[in-house]
Chain A
Amino acid sequence: MHIDRYEQIWIRISVAVLVVFMLGIIVAGWSMGIQVPGVYGRVDPNTVTEPGSPWAEPGVRELAPGKYEVYILAQIWTFAPSEIRVPAGSEVTFYVTSKDVQHGFRIQDTNLSFMVLPGQISKMTHRFEEPGEYVFVCHEYCGVGHHTMAGKLIVEEAVASNQ
């Protein structure tokens, strides 16, 4: 098959660009740790709020100084809890699931963005350095009240505790 000389150059450039992009996502994903969600676990959406389930009382738990986990339950059309407070500099792991339809979860100005499905647990970790208010929103259509489904995460100035 005859391929024009200029087209051959173009083909080489195209392949090179795609290879560079591939290297870019590999470096970002596996050396800088910017990762998409993977597999964590499953849960029965019909019993997710019964005693014994971590979503029976969703909220923030301190694991160690500067290390938190947050269990969030998404349901039409609220997040429980809808207000979360953590000190600046803490590493927060989110465990989110839905008890009804599909929802989404995105904390603005961060890389935290994932789907929230009934029956599945979405897990993602983020370190909050900058104090301030971060709005989080549901980003998957979940019914007529979808645009009212939001909350805020407040990163408080770290208290100088050892003074």
Chain B
Amino acid sequence: MSVQSIPQPAAGADVHSSEARFSLENKLTGWHIGVAMAALSIGITLGVMQGFEHLGIDLYKYTAPAFKTYYQGLTIHGVLNALVWTTFFIVGFFTTAITRSLDRPLKYPWINVLGFVLMFVGLLLAAYPLLANLATVLYTFYPPMQAHWTFYLGLTLVVVGSWVAGYGFYFTLHAWRKENPGKRTPFIALASTITMVMWQIATLGVAAEILTMLLPWSLGLIEGTDPLLARTYFWYFGHPLVYFWLLPAYVAWYGMVPKQAGGKMFSDSLARLVFWLFLLLSTPVGFHHQYTDPGIPQGWKFIHAILTYGVAFPSLLTAFTVAASLEIGGRARGGKGWFGWIRKLPWDNPSYTAQNLAMIIFAFGGISGITNASYNVNLAVHNTVWIPGHFHLTVGSATTLTFFGIAYWLVPKLTGKQLYKPKLALAQAWTWFFGMILFGNGFHLLGLHYGVPRRTMLGAAVYRDPAWTPFLLEVFVGVLFLTVSAILFYWVIIGTLSHKKRLEKPVEMPVAEAADPTPVPAWLDTWKPWLYGAIALIIIAYGPMLYTLISQMQLTSPGFRVW
């Protein structure tokens, strides 16, 4: 120890001063992920109550003043987990990822502070109608169900706040490019910024829906609304939304996890190509959520089906490239044979383990996702519990479990404290994995075999069938695992925040280097062709149908409050 400590001070002091350069970025990241984790704790609690409800045990009578009904709880579960936990965590994570990857603090920090303030005010504004049972419209808020106007305004502010954070990132990347002419943008910064630009394009749909239709309608400024047009705006946003959840996990899987495994990025160029393809293809695919809608021609639905297969392609590439990057790590750690390298991966590291398990679950989530996208095959599963089964494997596991894994290095980095009881964190990752496997399997089977509808108070459903029971029990066991896992997660995080043991050396963000030293070609570091291509594809895939729907708009539906 004493021998090693001689060269340490200089290096340590250097790292410490670099921490000081990023003190605002650290704080911003901490605020974002703090709000994210607080929101998730409420969202998960409501999820557990839903698990009980499906077995016929109604807990809402005990939580009544706060959460009055299953459907109010389900709305808050969806909004907090799918919109708040994800958006706040992603913006917070990117604040660290982009600035550390560029080794450059934010160009205009006040922009990102403003973004956080807008998002937080929006969250508080939306919390009021949600808790007061004035917005029990689920997180898709399909009109003509009408929520209190503060719900729509609050969501708008959350989205606008995330735009503003994105602008802060663009300025920072732009400044870096000016300062480093001729250099390739580091992968993590590039991929994160592409994700924010994709989000900017995608959220124009929900902005149009809320600002031109729902907000004025809920304020009584316009009499009625057009439900099909609103759905179309929503799903223009709703599918790239899922890539906004997924791509930050891909940033970590490509750019960070290989380093944690002792490996390298198998192909830096392909990783960048994958992100550009997502920018190109994430948005013009929304009709695959509207296959069973009236009023949209089959031809357009089919075109979006084909484009959806197109956007599956970069995910298939990811499966290979990420696995190959980990294999480099496993072999570097002494793994031999076809599968022997898997055992040598750092399974004792909770951050690594959580993210690797997230990848494995995503393989199953991807398969059911392709099923959903498959045009007429969708008829078998549309709006059945197969769908929540699917997205608990994707956003609920691929994304969420990856974020847990990120938190296991990020929280120690931000606080300068050791991770509290890593063994508990390891148990957290595995219980989440098994919990979601059981939950996902049960819901997929219930949806496929029995057509059990989603978003339904199944415990009280008039058509409840005894044949469902074994699968609902499987789902419930999954929920129990997830409950234990969630308790472990908060135990570890709160433990880390409250103990006093400081790290000697700050945690470094894991950054994987490329296995192939040849530089990335310039066309993979150029924005314009990809951006213009994305806009052109959206105009082709959405333009004619949106024009038709807008020109034939009939604002005939008044608002309903049916809860």
Q: Which A residues lie at the B interface, using CB under 8 A?
A: 1-4, 6-7, 10-11, 14-15, 17-18, 21-22, 24-25, 28-29, 34-40, 42, 44-46, 76, 100-102, 104, 106, 108-109, 111-123, 135, 137-148, 150
Contacts and interface: CB of A to CB of B under 8 A. Distances in A.
Contacts of A117: 227-228, 231, 293-295
Contacts of A104: 292, 383, 453
Nearest to A14: B316
A34 B379 contact: yes
Nearest to A44: B556
Interface size class of B (residues with CB under 8 A): 35 or more
Contacts of A45: 556-557
B496 interface: no
Given A114-B292, A141-B456, A142-B562, A29 B376 contact: yes
16 contacts: A4-B267, A11-B317, A25-B375, A36-B379, A37-B294, A39-B297, A101-B560, A102-B145, A106-B382, A115-B294, A117-B293, A118-B557, A121-B294, A123-B294, A140-B455, A145-B562
A120 B375 contact: no
B460 A147 contact: yes
Interface of B: 69, 71, 136, 138, 142, 144-145, 226-228, 231, 266-267, 269-270, 273, 290-298, 301-302, 305-306, 309-310, 312-313, 316-317, 320-321, 324, 370, 374-380, 382-384, 450-451, 453-458, 460-463, 516, 518, 521, 524, 552, 554, 556-558, 560, 562-563
Nearest to A123: B294
Given A102-B145, A139-B382, A42 B463 contact: no
A114 B313 contact: no
A143 B266 contact: no
Contacts of A22: 305-306, 309
B454 A139 contact: yes
Given A113-B380, A139-B451, 7 more contacts: A1-B524, A3-B267, A106-B383, A118-B557, A139-B382, A139-B456, A143-B563
Contacts of A76: 560, 562
A48 to B, nearest CB: 10
Contacts of B266: 4, 7
A7 B267 contact: yes
Contacts of B144: 100-102, 118
B383 A113 contact: yes
Given A119-B227, A119-B554, A143-B563, A150 B313 contact: no
Most buried by A among B138, B301, B383: B383
Contacts of A108: 450-451
By Cβ-Cβ distance, the 8 closest A-B pairs, closest first, are A143-B562, A139-B453, A139-B383, A14-B316, A120-B294, A147-B461, A122-B294, A114-B292
Contacts of A100: 144, 560, 562
Contacts of B375: 25, 29, 36
A40 B294 contact: yes
Contacts of A146: 71, 455-457
Contacts of B383: 104, 106, 113, 139-140
Contacts of B380: 111, 113
A98 to B, nearest CB: 9
B56 to A, nearest CB: 12
A102 B560 CA distance: 10
Contacts of B374: 21, 24-25
B142 A21 contact: no
B518 to A, nearest CB: 7
A18 B374 CA distance: 10
A92 to B, nearest CB: 16
Contacts of A10: 316-317, 320
A106 to B, nearest CB: 6
A44 B557 CA distance: 8
Most buried by B among A17, A39, A117: A117
Contacts of B291: 36
A137 to B, nearest CB: 5
Contacts of B552: 42
Contacts of B273: 1
A39 B298 CA distance: 8
Contact of A115 (B292, B324, B370): B292
A118 B306 CA distance: 29
